[in-house]
Amino acid sequence: MKQRIITGSLLVIVLGLLIYFGEGPLEFLFSGLCVLLATIASWEFSRMLYKDKPFSPFNYLAVLFTFSFTLINVIWFKQTVLYYQIFFMFIISMFLIYALIYIFYDKFTLSDFSGQILTVFYTSLGFIAFAYLRILSIHLIIYLFLVAMLTDVFAYLIGIKFGKHRLAIKISPKKSVEGAIAGLLIGGTLAALYAYSVNFMNYNLVYLLLISFSLSIISQIGDLVASKFKREADIKDYSQIFPGHGGVLDRFDSSMFAAIFLMILVMVW
């Protein structure tokens, strides 16, 4: 527990500093962190997919594609026309490369094909959304992390004390319906109050509550999806990069899903 607290505190401090200073000429600090985290997450996911298979360079091709895809989005998504040109060229090229490998390399199966495509998008989109939200406003990224963090904290605290009905016993036996509801209501409400007090979205409190509750639900879905991946792969954590906390995907699984939803919401405002 002591190790977990120390690691968690250091993570909060480092992430907080990079979020705070990651704007203007120093925008690359947080954006660069997002690229790095997405790449590590891709390596973790690839390692999970191929943990029982002999090593092949093709097993980790998705790591390279994740790095490239995240970097392209972080650098160019503010340059609308050029961004869409590069974006679609990358997607088409990636599918073509995978198709050629699938055709000419017998050991590269349909499972490998689909698994690597999943790896690229699953491990990149959330971190792309983090970078996008931070560039728009520091309050957006703080709000996002508040929703995910408070949902997780109160779901755990209430679930441990009052949880009697299992939420998804085959995926995550410790999670309860009572904890999930508490995380949704308390975490969502507190995050909505932050957004309302700062007033960076110009919405009334009712609308902010609806957005926050939606983000809370999506963050819990993201957590369960990551847990099911680990359950099927028979692993406890994706890696041990953060002592006591596991890997990048273990720490950001819920906020990644919520970030994508919030990014889409911001884009259609």
The answer on pLDDT for 216 being more than 90 is yes
State what percent of residues in the chain have pLDDT above 90: 49
Q: Give me Rg for the CA atoms of the chain.
A: 19
What the block records as the tokens of 250 is: 């273990």
pTM: 0.91
Q: Which helix (H) or strand (E) holds 82?
A: helix 80-104
Please answer whether residues 245 and 253 qualify as being in contact, where contact means their C-beta atoms are separated by less than 8 angstroms. Answer: no
Cβ within 8 Å of residue 45, ≥6 positions away? 62, 119, 122, 123, 229, 238, 249
Domain boundaries in the chain? 1-136, 138-269
Cβ within 8 Å of residue 32, ≥6 positions away? 74
Higher pLDDT, 62 or 159: 62
> pLDDT, tens digit, for every residue of 171-212?
877 788 888 999 999 999 999 999 999 988 778 899 999 999
Instruction: Output the CA–CA distances (angstroms, integers) from residue 72 to 67, 80, 96, 149, 223, in the order listed.
Output: 9, 12, 18, 28, 27
> pLDDT, tens digit, for every residue of 241-266?
887 778 899 989 889 999 999 999 98
Cα 192 from Cα 207, distance rounded (Å): 9
> pLDDT, tens digit, for every residue of 58-113?
888 999 999 999 999 888 776 666 777 788 899 999 999 999 999 998 888 999 99
What the block records as the tokens of 89 is: 């060229």
